[in-house]
């Protein structure tokens, strides 16, 4: 086998800013080095929740600490990209009940740029990494638009 045939074509999604940031966020959570040497697909795999995997999760349940950490990593990643885009500090705040219901906010200065109600957090995930990136891009573009509309409030 030559190196050309043995080389696996890498999905271009792994070269996007959001996915790179999600990898940073997940590695930051890895205090025991379990992700060392693991491919990006393995590290971000828990974010992918196919229909089959979703069926295995009960409709009612309490989120575990690992799932809560993934939710926080997702919104932290969005906040970092907002900071990178506008140059102002973005602060994510997540409040969840033990049952997995709550709200997440991202503020820039005194301006709320993202406000999401969270439900069924124990089933947090996306159909694919590209779907996750699409959702994040949507939140990012709305946040940047709000900051552009109210720059004086964002600068406070």
The band of 156, judged by pLDDT with boundaries at 50, 70 and 90, is confident
> CA 57 → CA 45, 60, 77, 120, 123, distances in Å?
16, 8, 25, 11, 7
pLDDT of residue 4: 45
Q: How far apart are CA 125 and CA 141, in angstroms?
A: 21
User: Is pLDDT of 113 > 70?
Assistant: yes
Torsion of CA 54, 81, 113, 64, to 10 degrees: 30
Condensed to tens digits (0 to 9), the pLDDT of residues 57-73 reads 888 888 999 999 999 99
pLDDT of residue 10: 76
pLDDT of residue 9: 65
Q: How far apart are CA 37 and CA 129, in angstroms?
A: 20
Contacts of the segment 25-33: beta carbons below 8 A, 24+ positions apart: 25/73, 25/74, 25/76, 25/77, 25/80, 26/70, 26/73, 28/73, 29/69, 29/73
pLDDT of residue 7: 44
The band of 54, judged by pLDDT with boundaries at 50, 70 and 90, is confident
Entry pTM: 0.89
DSSP state of 77: H
Phi, psi of 99 (to 5 degrees): -90, -5
Average pLDDT, the chain: 91
Q: How far apart are CA 16 and CA 90, in angstroms?
A: 20
Query: Strand 102-108 relative to strand 111-118: parallel, antiparallel, unpaired?
Result: antiparallel
Lowest model confidence (mean pLDDT) among 9-13, 44-48, 92-96:
9-13
Condensed to tens digits (0 to 9), the pLDDT of residues 79-103 reads 999 999 999 999 999 999 988 899 9
Lowest model confidence (mean pLDDT) among 25-39, 71-85, 104-118:
25-39
Contact (CB, 8 A) for 123 and 54: yes
Q: How far apart are CA 125 and CA 17, in angstroms?
A: 19
User: Is pLDDT of 78 > 70?
Assistant: yes
Domain edges within the chain: 12-154
CATH 1.10.3100.20 fits 12-154, yes or no: yes
């Amino acid at each position: 086998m030559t190196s050309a045939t043995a080389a696996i074509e890498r999905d271009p999604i792994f070269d996007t800013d959001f996915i790179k940031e999600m990898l940073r966020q997940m590695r930051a959570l890895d205090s025991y080095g379990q992700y060392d040497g693991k491919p990006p697909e393995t590290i971000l795999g828990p974010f992918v929740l196919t229909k089959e995997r979703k069926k295995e999760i009960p409709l009612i349940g309490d989120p575990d600490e690992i799932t809560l950490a993934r939710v926080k990593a997702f919104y932290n990643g969005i906040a970092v990209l907002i900071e990178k885009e506008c140059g102002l500090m973005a602060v994510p705040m997540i409040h969840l009940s033990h049952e997995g219901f709550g709200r997440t906010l991202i503020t820039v200065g005194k301006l709320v740029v993202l406000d999401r109600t969270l439900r069924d957090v124990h089933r947090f995930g996306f159909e694919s990494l590209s779907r996750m990136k699409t959702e994040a891009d949507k939140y990012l573009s709305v946040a940047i638009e709000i900051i552009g509309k109210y720059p004086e409030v964002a600068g406070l």
